[in-house]
Amino acid sequence: MSKKTDKLLALLNGQPVIPVLKIERAKDAVPLARALAKGGLRVIEITLRTKEALEAIERAAKEVEEAVVGAGTILNAKQFKQAAKAGSQFIVSPGATKELFKANRDHDVPLLPGAITPSEMMAALEADVDFLKFFPAEQAGGAAFLKSLASPLAGIRFCPTGGVSAKNANDYLSLPNVVCVGGSWVAPDDMVKQGKWTEIEALAREASKLAKA
């Protein structure tokens, strides 16, 4: 296990579900992060899919002490640096490139890169990365595919994301090579837009009760 993996696992601290968030309005970041943390999901991933994503990361990182804020949908080294500067404690990417692996080596902030093929996973191992995002999980073969990798790629652990929901999360969490899952169901876009923080807290509480078999 790499030192970066150790650091990332320490941040996750056994949390079964990582909320994957698309925040349109930076002002929503703080109440959203607080609601999720109060519901038991301290570790969150704010994706760089909106214009105000970096500001949302910065606000949540600065103002919500109980939250562990990461950045998602990081596609290159420039975004890696921007997210780290904004206060991200970990970086998530839908894929992996030599540029991102170099950024990972050059920064203390750990990277969780995406991979869906054995070749991509082996390339990650060569870059000393052994904790990967399996994305898009359902479309790439789901829990059955990940189960088939547990023996030949026993040194790699995964966080499946993409199509994961409350209905199938346990299919993944029951696998020996899965650490956690990423999902957006704990903070639906419409609830965030309407500021339904109590409802989001309840969804987070339910998700936090999911556990490794």
93-124: per-residue pLDDT in tens? 999 999 999 999 999 999 999 999 999 999 99
Q: Give the chain as a 3 state SS string.
A: CCHHHHHHHHHHCCCCEEEEECCCCHHHHHHHHHHHHHCCCCEEEEECCCCCHHHHHHHHHHHCCCCEEEEECCCCHHHHHHHHHHCCCEEECCCCCHHHHHHHHHCCCCEECEECCHHHHHHHHHCCCCEEEECCCCCCCHHHHHHHHCCCCCCCEEEEECCCCCCCHHHHHCCCCECCEEECCCCCHHHHHCCCHHHHHHHHHHHHCCCCC
Residue 198 identity: T
Residue 11, pLDDT above cutoff 90: yes
Residue 92 · residue 133 · CB < 8 Å: yes
Residue 185, pLDDT above cutoff 80: yes
* Residues belonging to the active site: 45, 133
Query: pTM score, two decimals?
Result: 0.96
Q: What are phi and psi of 151, to 5 degrees?
A: -85, -55
**Tens digits of residue pLDDT in 54-79:** 999 999 999 999 999 999 999 999 99
Residue 27, pLDDT above cutoff 90: yes
Q: Which pLDDT band holds residue 148 (cuts at 50, 70, 90)? A: very high
Q: Which pLDDT band holds residue 84 (cuts at 50, 70, 90)? A: very high
pLDDT of amino acid 211: 79
Cis peptide before 110 (omega within 30 of 0): no
Residue 213, pLDDT above cutoff 70: no
Q: Which pLDDT band holds residue 212 (cuts at 50, 70, 90)? A: low
**In the CATH hierarchy, which fold is given to the domain comprising 3-200?**
TIM Barrel (3.20.20)
Residue 81, pLDDT above cutoff 90: yes
**Domain layout of the chain by residue ranges:** 3-200
Share of the chain above pLDDT 70, in %: 99
